[in-house]
Structure 1
Amino acid sequence: MSGSDGASEGAVLYEATASGVAILTFNRPDRLNAWGPDIAAAFYAGIDRAEKDPDIRVIVVTGRGKGFCAGAYLGAPSSAASYGKTMEKAGQTDLAELVGERPPHFVTALRKPVVAAINGACVGIGLTQALMCDVRFAAAGAKFAAVFARRGLIAEFGISWILPRLTTWGVALDLLLSGRTFLAEEAAELGLVKEVVDPEHLMTRALEYAEDIARNCSPASMAVIKQQVYGDATRDVADATARAEVLLHEAMPRPDVIEGITSFLEKRPPQFPSLTSTEA
């Protein structure tokens, strides 16, 4: 897949469907799409493009080849002998130079839903990136691992925040402390992915889901709901309820509410207006 600019060699491919879904595909299959500055920069550019485009209502992220994102790119095996000096230097380096200028949780602040179609290996920072997406589908047999402890590292880039919220404290500690590999089927049982799909049907199912949202859900509503869900994670229930009342009063005069109710009563698909750059 490639965007209209034909940049098939780009680190992340961009495609927009007629139904309002932007597809971002990590495009370094030779290294299982391991995260590096090239993928980071192209991913940010693609996300910004989709976020600003009023015709785009949902974003789908996937990988080309056998990996979704197999962790941070550590270089070729031949570089192992020099890694002591590399890591000593890295301890004094701005992490943005190593993994990009934005932390994975930045996608939670987007106005548009982000769906991950996990086609293969989803490891380390790749797992964190996937968990920060709003909804996840996975190919049967795809391998997952929070390998940080097995690399002498810590729970990086917000995974210690998101993982217990998607599963439980016990599951999060098991996965983080053991660094063990687990498959898509267990990931679904643990609540980390919505569905496990045959690999050849993964994108079809993910796009079916994304296109249903694009056709039938209000962009303004989805933007506010994302703010509520992620913002309320740090609030108590009383504060969350009080804020919801304020947001509801703000929502009532919007054309989305009128269209949502009218289309339901008239038994027709809704025609919600697109987001502008300043809404929500």
Structure 2
Amino acid sequence: MSEQAVDRPDTDLVLYDVDEEGVATLTFNRPERKNAWNVPMEARFFELLDRAAADPRVRVVIVTGAGRAFCPGMDMQRLEQNSRPGEGLHLEGRSPMYSRRLLPKPMIAAINGGCAGIGLIQALICDVRFAARGARFTTAFTRRGLAGEYNLPYVLPRLVGLENALDLLLSGRTFDADEAKALGLVSRVVEPGELLDAARAYARDIARNCSPRAMAVVRHQVYGDLDRDFTGALGRSYSAMEYFAGSPDFREGVESFTQKRPPKFEGLPPDFDPEEATRDPFLPG
């Protein structure tokens, strides 16, 4: 396919599919630009994530790319525009990049190819990352005359440790999927032809067997507790324990285990707030 730009409706910039197991797959769909990021694609991606969050059918979200790449970063055409004298950064009307960490449903990245810059950010917003063997990664920013963007200097050390994060951020070097796994940036490396099947098998397993409410609260606990002290996190953990004790999900989890049958957990209501399950009753607010 030609690398020339293709006129495509904004609604086609990210594809959206929900299977019978409740797994939603969002696919970056600018293969002629290797899924390079632009603002219309960003708006469509976040719109579809919000749709998945509100849809009771959806239990797990997979994010991947069409063609040979996941997302190699911001479209170079936009970078060229922003590099002109007098052209500043325009963030008006754009969603905060990490806001979907508040999504109450698990997110799985299926990284099928090149993953860099703002594309790497999208992968790191996901909870679990699968990568195709041979996929290439880079933070890229210093090689474009940029500092660490979108809070990557905060996020990366918490994933791979301080020295590894500084190595990747300072050098902007390219590394492959196997090194990404060794660093802890991805958890699974599979052959390219098996990537999406492997990610979907994992997603379908947790969609079938795990409580949507429990997964929403666990995700909320993990990200929320990153910046809490031990005692604060412990109090919220006790609150979550109290919330689920005797709940329909807990009863179903126990009964399905003792009866040796698959569980039948209800879908996540659109108005479910995991904060309610973790609020420490001894703290104000």
TM-score calculated relative to the size of structure 2: 0.89
- Which amino acid letter does the alignment assign opposite residue 85 of structure 1? R
Who is 1:12 aligned against? 14
CA apart distance, 1:8: 10
Query: Any gaps of 5 or more consecutive residues in structure 2?
Result: 1-8, 274-285
- Residues 170-203 of structure 1, C-alpha deviation per residue, up to 9 Å, x if partnerless? 1101100110000001000111111111111100
Three-state SS of the structure 1 residue aligned to 2:215 is helix
Tell me how far apart the structure 2 counterparts of residues 244 and 47 of structure 1 sit (CA, whole Å): 27
Contact 1:132–1:162 under 8 Å retained in 2: no
Q: Which consecutive aligned stretches of 4+ in structure 1 deviate over 3 angstroms post-superposition?
A: none
Q: Which residue number corresponds to residue 255 of structure 1?
A: 248
Deviation (angstroms), 1:84: 4.2
Whole-angstrom CA distance in 1 between matches of 2:13 and 2:142: 28
Q: Hey, what does 1:218 align to over in structure 2?
A: 211
Report the identity percentage. 48
Residue by residue over 1:25-69, the C-alpha shift from the partner in whole angstroms, topping out at 9 and shown as x without a partner, is 000011111110121111012111111110100000000011101
1:266 is aligned to 2:262: no
For 1:49, the aligned partner's letter is R
Q: What's 2:62 paired with? A: 60
Contact 2:68 2:114 survives alignment (8 Å): yes
- Matched pairs, number: 265
**Distance in 2 (alpha carbons) for counterparts of 1:84 and 1:261:** 59
Deviation of the 1:252 alpha carbon: 1.5
Aligned to 1:24: 26
- Stretch deviating more after TM superposition (103-112 or 222-231): 103-112
Partner of 2:90: 94
Aligned residue among 130, 154, 158 for 1:137: 130
SS at 1:14's partner residue? strand
CA offset at residue 102 of structure 1? 1.8
- Partner amino acid, structure 1, of 2:137: F
**Secondary structure of the corresponding residue to residue 89 of structure 1:** coil
Instruction: Confirm or deny: 8 A CA contact 1:20 1:58 kept in the other structure.
Output: yes
Write the distance in 2 (CA, Å) between the matches of 1:256 and 1:279: 14
For 1:85, the equivalent position in structure 2 comes to 84
AA partner of residue 167 (structure 1)? V
Match of 1:70 in 2: 72
Where does 1:116-127 land on structure 2 (aligned, <5 Å)?
A: 116-127=109-120
Contact 1:107 1:133 in 2 (8 A): no
- 1:96 Cα deviation from its structure 2 partner: 4.2
Report the CA distance between 1:254 and its aligned residue. 2.1
CA RMSD of aligned residues (A): 1.7
1:227-268 CA-to-partner distances (Å, cap 9, x unmatched) read 100000000111111110012111223211110111111111
Corresponding residue number in structure 2 for 1:41: 43
Structure 1 Cα separation of the partners of residues 96 and 200 of structure 2: 26
Give 1:9 shift. Answer: 7.1
* Runs of 5+ unmatched residues, structure 1: 1-6
